């Protein structure tokens, strides 16, 4: 009988790394989305899955209360990601064909943490887009989005 188990990805691996840098997620208005300033290259690692985790500074979150996660692949022109939107914070939502998950937030004034698991990765280069549906602008500092990669092994 075959045994299946998770194994660390060859790219980022099981240690969380930045999906966005520094202040990129700060002060994003509710209803707006932003394209990551970091490109993730899965061309040689060819990892299959990832988890995306957020840590948001305290704000007065209200319904609707979630962060949408979208994955924008690098297009054949080798310069445009997805539909080319959200290079700066702009009104969303992103196109539904790029949606890969959501993280539900608590409707309260508090810091928020959450993870979306089992996101299927494309081979090649891509960037994440986060869509703020927290009912309030994200705090002006201390907002973080990380990711890790892994695969499934059958032995």
**pLDDT at residue 63 greater than cutoff 90:** no
Average pLDDT of the chain to the nearest whole number: 96
What is residue 2's predicted lDDT score, i.e. its pLDDT? 85
- Classify residue 120 as exposed, middle or buried by CB count within 10 Å of its CB (0-12, 13-18, 19+): exposed
Structural domains in the chain plus CATH codes: 4-154 (2.60.120)
12-48 tens-digit pLDDT: 999 999 999 989 999 999 999 999 999 999 999 999 9
Question: SS in 3 state form for 122-146?
Answer: CCCEEEEEEEEECCCCCCCCCCEEE
82-113 tens-digit pLDDT: 999 999 999 999 999 999 999 999 999 999 99
């Amino acid at each position: 009988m075959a045994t299946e188990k998770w194994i660390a990805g060859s790219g980022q691996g099981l240690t969380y790394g930045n999906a966005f840098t520094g202040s990129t997620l700060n002060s994003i208005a509710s209803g707006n989305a932003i394209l990551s300033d970091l490109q993730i290259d899965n061309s040689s690692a060819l990892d299959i899955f990832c988890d995306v985790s957020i840590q948001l500074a305290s704000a007065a979150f209200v319904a609707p209360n979630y962060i949408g996660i979208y994955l924008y692949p690098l297009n054949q022109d080798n310069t445009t990601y997805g539909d080319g939107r959200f290079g700066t914070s702009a009104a969303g939502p992103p196109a539904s064909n790029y949606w890969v998950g959501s993280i539900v937030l608590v409707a309260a004034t508090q810091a928020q943490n959450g993870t979306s698991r089992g996101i299927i990765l494309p081979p090649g280069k891509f960037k994440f887009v986060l869509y703020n549906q927290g009912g309030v602008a994200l705090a002006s500092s201390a907002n973080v989005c990380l990711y890790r990669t892994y695969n499934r092994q059958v032995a």
